[in-house]
A and B are shown apart, each in its own frame.
Chain A
Amino acid sequence: MSCPHLNQAFKNEKTRDGVLKTYNMIRYIIEHSTFQNRHLLSMRCTECYEINHGSTFMCLQCGFCGCWNSEHFTMHSKKVGHIFGVNSSNGLLFCFKCMDFVSGNEMLTNSMLVKYWDDISVKTSPPSLHGRDGLCGLVNMGSTCFMSTIVQTLVHNPYVLKNSLDQHHYAHCDSDNSSACFSCALDTVIANFYGPSSESSFPSQQKGFIDLLLCSWNANKNLAGYSQQDAHEFLQFFLNQLHSDYVRINKNAVIKPEFCKCIAHSAFQGTLRSSIICTECHDGSNIKFDPMMDLSLDINNKTTLIECLQSFHEGEKLTDFNHKCRNCGSVQNPIKQMTIAKLPPVLVLQLKRFEHRMTGNSVKLNDFVQFPAYLNMAPFCHKEETKHVPDLVYELVAVISQEGSVNQGHYTSMCKITGGQWFRFNDSMVTSVSEEDVLRQQAYLVFYVIRQIG
């Protein structure tokens, strides 16, 4: 039930607008002040001067800041009758009469939109409950699991999902035919998965996927047919297609990948820094920067993802007969060290399980490699003497596994959806799984999303 005290205040339009204006101003301050200002000004109690003494609330009617643990805001409220306080760490409004956070008031929830409210309340509706989580299986159309696992992973990726729901492609694409345009097909999948269930039965929810198959086969004949393909290659193909569509709707503007704003490059692209280090004088001035859309990690003799990243980071001895050090002239084999110059918001790590031997046959490495639910990537980034690299904590959001051999295998994916629940996607079957189940997977591709910086 919503707060009767706020409803009372909202009865009078002038009061309502005053409340919302002040509320928005306080939220703006909270969201835009530095760590220091926030802690010294809005997270410090006016009464006891303690910082973070539990939550701190900023009064909606005067400049008072009161803490929770010593009940200084509660006393302020009783003393002067001001009953609303804004929580200075999450911007939520608390009613000190109900002794509860105010929820269930759409205008308050969308208070930043209040000046357009008349239009909004007529032209929009709250998102439907059904389909909120986008859970839907994808029927196997004949060895298409390597595609459906990538589609499920991207459709539940927060950056790809938001890009589609914001209609960046839809609003500009002249094709508008999801069986001829890859990005339109992806939009169709997302519309089917997240839209109101009244309009989409299970068969119609497959349409977007069928369109994606058609677009893929038209764009790359090798993907057609019933042979099993590599999910990692399909991911690269998928991201390339999204980029090509972006270039097309931008009238084929020449866009250098490192400056491209398409969803593929803005969400998945990082930069690798490789330096050739002389083993004699340790000169490392021979430096190159390359864009990277994912990291492929060797797993031989390794049991954890951290070990794989460390070995990637340590570098490898080059056998380069033409090498001659610019600094000391040494011709000793140098070491090539790879570090990360720029991390992407979405980090894709491929565990190299398929080894193509000199003999021509391919073998699959089935060793279990442990990977964490949260990964700090700071240790693998390039460090300048002068600059401190803050902790960069990534959150695991998807795992793609391949069971079976190289050519005869089956792909399944596990994705974390909004709210933190994990689900397993095995073609048309969708099942809820625990995070422990996820971390036991024999992972082939793992997807992380930036969660905390600093």
Chain B
Amino acid sequence: HPTIQSTSHSIFDNLISSMIQDIVARTTTQAHALRFRYGIDPK
């Protein structure tokens, strides 16, 4: 049975994973778009 602790951890993990995925999505998409637009690795 879910407890308050386990449910709290699960809600916390949801929040963290959605934040990580949002940051990684924005960073990778921007990098890919720049590489596609300028053809080189725009370090």
Contact = CB atoms under 8 A, between A and B. Distances in A.
Given A54-B14, A129-B38, A103 B33 contact: yes
A126 B37 contact: yes
A92 B21 CA distance: 12
Contacts of B21: 54-55, 68
A87 B17 contact: no
For this complex, into which size category does the number of interface residues on chain B fall?
A: 10 to 19
Nearest to B15: A52
A54 B40 CA distance: 32
Interface in B1-43: 14-15, 17-18, 21-22, 25-26, 28-30, 32-33, 35-38, 40, 42
A103 B29 CA distance: 6
Contacts of A54: 14, 17-18, 21
A252 interface: no
Contacts of A109: 33
B37 A101 contact: no
With a 10 A CB-CB cut-off, give which of A50, A103, A132 has the most chain B CB atoms: A103
B32 A55 contact: no
A15 interface: no
Contacts of A1: 36
Interface in A79-97: 87, 89-90, 92
A2 B28 CA distance: 13
Contacts, number: 57
Nearest to A108: B33
Nearest to B31: A103
Interface residues of A, number: 24
Given A55-B21, A90-B22, A101 B28 contact: yes
Contacts of A129: 37-38, 40, 42
B29 to A, nearest CB: 5
A50 to B, nearest CB: 7
A104 B38 CA distance: 10
A89 B22 CA distance: 7
B37 A92 contact: no
A352 interface: no
Given A2-B36, A129-B42, A101 B29 contact: yes
Contacts of B40: 129
Contact of A50 (B14, B29, B35): B14
B20 to A, nearest CB: 9
A101 B18 contact: no
Contacts of A56: 18
Contact of A92 (B17, B25, B42): B25
A69 interface: yes
Contact of A90 (B25, B32, B38): B25
Interface string A278-289: 000000000000
Interface in A86-140: 87, 89-90, 92, 101, 103-104, 106, 109, 126, 129, 132
A53 interface: yes
B7 to A, nearest CB: 12
Nearest to B36: A104
A341 interface: no
A51 interface: yes
Given A90-B22, A101-B32, A53 B14 contact: yes
B26 A92 contact: yes
With a 10 A CB-CB cut-off, give which of B17, B28, B30 has the most chain A CB atoms: B17
A105 B42 CA distance: 18
A90 B26 contact: yes
B28 A51 contact: no
Contact of B25 (A55, A69, A104): A55
A101 B33 CA distance: 10
Interface of A: 1-2, 43, 50-56, 68-69, 87, 89-90, 92, 101, 103-104, 106, 109, 126, 129, 132
16 contacts: A2-B36, A52-B15, A54-B18, A55-B22, A55-B25, A56-B18, A68-B21, A69-B14, A87-B22, A89-B18, A90-B22, A90-B26, A101-B32, A103-B30, A103-B36, A106-B37
Interface of B: 14-15, 17-18, 21-22, 25-26, 28-30, 32-33, 35-38, 40, 42
Which 5 A-B pairs rank lowest in CB-CB distance, beginning with the nearest? A104-B36, A103-B32, A52-B18, A103-B33, A52-B14
